[in-house]
Structure 1
Amino acid sequence: MYISFGKRVIAWLIDALVIQFILQVFLIGFLNFRSLYYDFLLSQRDWMDVNLEEIGGIFESGFFFKFAAVLGILLSWLYYAAMESSRLQATVGKLAIGGVVVGEMNERISFGKASGRFFGKIVSSLILYIGYLMVAFTEHRQGLHDKMAKAYVVDKEHLAAYRTTMQKQMEDVVKVG
């Protein structure tokens, strides 16, 4: 029922590619904006008192790399939290391996819980990635970030079968009662 460590690695690789693609689109847009902005300033400097060195400070490479890092974290957080708390209950990578993220009662997790799970990944990373390696050795295939958020990554088909069985059992209880 729980997704294995190997499959989760494959899902992570797919998600990393998706996030990189989205990040590159944003950064290319930013660079194009920067280029258009400089072109505009250069075209206006004859009649405007423009100090390109002062204005250009926000577009220096140091700023660009900080901007890219912050944007990468924000995009990653929104991607993981929004996808895992959506009706899909999974990111593109998890969908590709047939997995979904659920809470303790096999319910869809909230955006807040998905956010906690995402930021818990920072803790999983800081301790030499041991928080991720836990997936290979724990009973329910949970990483530290999963345990912190009280979440599980489970096989979508097994979950559907489990929910159908539980629904039938509930119907039987109602009929008897």
Structure 2
Amino acid sequence: MEVWIGRNGERHGPYQEEQVKEWLRSGQLSPDDLAWYDGLADWRPLSMLFPQDKPAPAPNPYGPPPLQTRPASSTTYFDYAGFWQRFGAWVIDLIVLMIPSMIVVYALGGMDAYKHLLDQIQGGADMATSLRDYAKATEGASVTSLAITFLYYMFFEASKLQATPGKLALRLRVTDVHGQRITLGRSAARNIVRLLGAVFGLIPIVCYLAITWTQHKQGLHDLWASTYVLNGTAQEQPPRQPSGEHGHFNA
């Protein structure tokens, strides 16, 4: 089991349970110190979580080293999602979005336009003219599908889930540069770049290839909106604030 510890307004960890117990027994941690692990609703004192592991009468100066300060906003410790993880999430979302897109195309006459295009091609009509007519006939369906895609990404990534269904399936989440949930405005800014990529047919190139060489594995849309895509779902992260009933930890 992995345990998070709070210190000086910051979260530290996660650490292995046995390591925390050892620090508790040696006096490095106090029974009143607060901790959290997956499954708890809120932070709890160590004395409640590990009542059998009481500290020695005096701290051992040769025991485990102090917990190192780790600023919550430090990017050094973020677990950035890689290119193939994010590309896989995009593929899943693409499949999900095909359902409403097909409904829109059918409802707005896209199938009739496609049949008309085939008839023109088989009849020997000019290809450029046929394609131009098809694009004009399906313009409404294309714009509506783009709007659905934009709203899909914007609302899911700004929600409490911090992820689209594709990202959830691969245990990813979208955050700001401090690792926190993004606002609806930031999500909209992030996905405007994605929308422009869709208009020009360059989604994988424009939005994703930059992940392979940027320091924090950011795509163009991440750089524009100052966002990260990290491993681990939002539900797997510890609460931001302890209950405060035991005082000196504010994780």
Higher helix share: 1
Aligned residues: 148
RMSD: 3.3
Cα deviation, residue 167, structure 1: 4.8
Cα deviation, residue 158, structure 1: 8.8
Partner of 2:185: 112
Question: In the aligned structure 1, how far is the partner of 2:140 from the partner of 2:163?
Answer: 27
1:8 aligns with 2:100: no
- What are the within-5 Å matches in structure 2 for residues 20-169 of structure 1? 20-31=98-109, 62-121=135-194, 122=196, 129-156=205-232, 160-161=236-237, 163=238, 167=241
- Contact kept, 8 Å, 1:123 with 1:145, in 2: the verdict is no
In 2 relative to 1, CA 131–157 (structure 1 residues): closer, same or farther, beyond 3 Å? closer
Question: In the aligned structure 2, how far is the partner of 1:21 from the partner of 1:63?
Answer: 22
Map Cα deviations across residues 75-126 of structure 1 (whole Å, 9 max, x no partner): 1100100110111111111111100101122221112111111112336976
Cα deviation, residue 128, structure 1: 8.9
Question: In the aligned structure 2, how far is the partner of 1:159 from the partner of 1:142?
Answer: 22
- Contact kept, 8 Å, 2:174 with 2:228, in 1: the verdict is yes
The runs of 5 or more residues in structure 2 that have no matched partner are 1-78, 113-132
- Contact kept, 8 Å, 2:157 with 2:174, in 1: the verdict is yes
Higher strand share: 2
Question: In the aligned structure 2, how far is the partner of 1:95 from the partner of 1:153?
Answer: 12
Paired letter, 2:230: V
Identity of matched residues, % = 29
Query: The residue matched to 2:138 in structure 1 has which SS?
Result: helix
- TM-score, normalised to structure 2, is 0.50
Task: Work out which of the two has the higher radius of gyration on C-alpha atoms and give 1 or 2.
Answer: 2
Question: In the aligned structure 2, how far is the partner of 1:2 from the partner of 1:88?
Answer: 17
Paired letter, 1:74: A
Query: The residue matched to 1:153 in structure 2 has which SS?
Result: strand
Query: The residue matched to 1:102 in structure 2 has which SS?
Result: strand
Question: In the aligned structure 1, how far is the partner of 2:91 from the partner of 2:248?
Answer: 48
Question: In the aligned structure 1, how far is the partner of 2:99 from the partner of 2:85?
Answer: 21
Question: In the aligned structure 2, how far is the partner of 1:93 from the partner of 1:65?
Answer: 27
In 2 relative to 1, CA 159–2 (structure 1 residues): closer, same or farther, beyond 3 Å? farther
Larger mean CA deviation between 152-161 and 106-115 belongs to 152-161
Larger mean CA deviation between 81-90 and 119-128 belongs to 119-128
Question: In the aligned structure 1, how far is the partner of 2:176 from the partner of 2:149?
Answer: 21
Query: The residue matched to 1:154 in structure 2 has which SS?
Result: strand
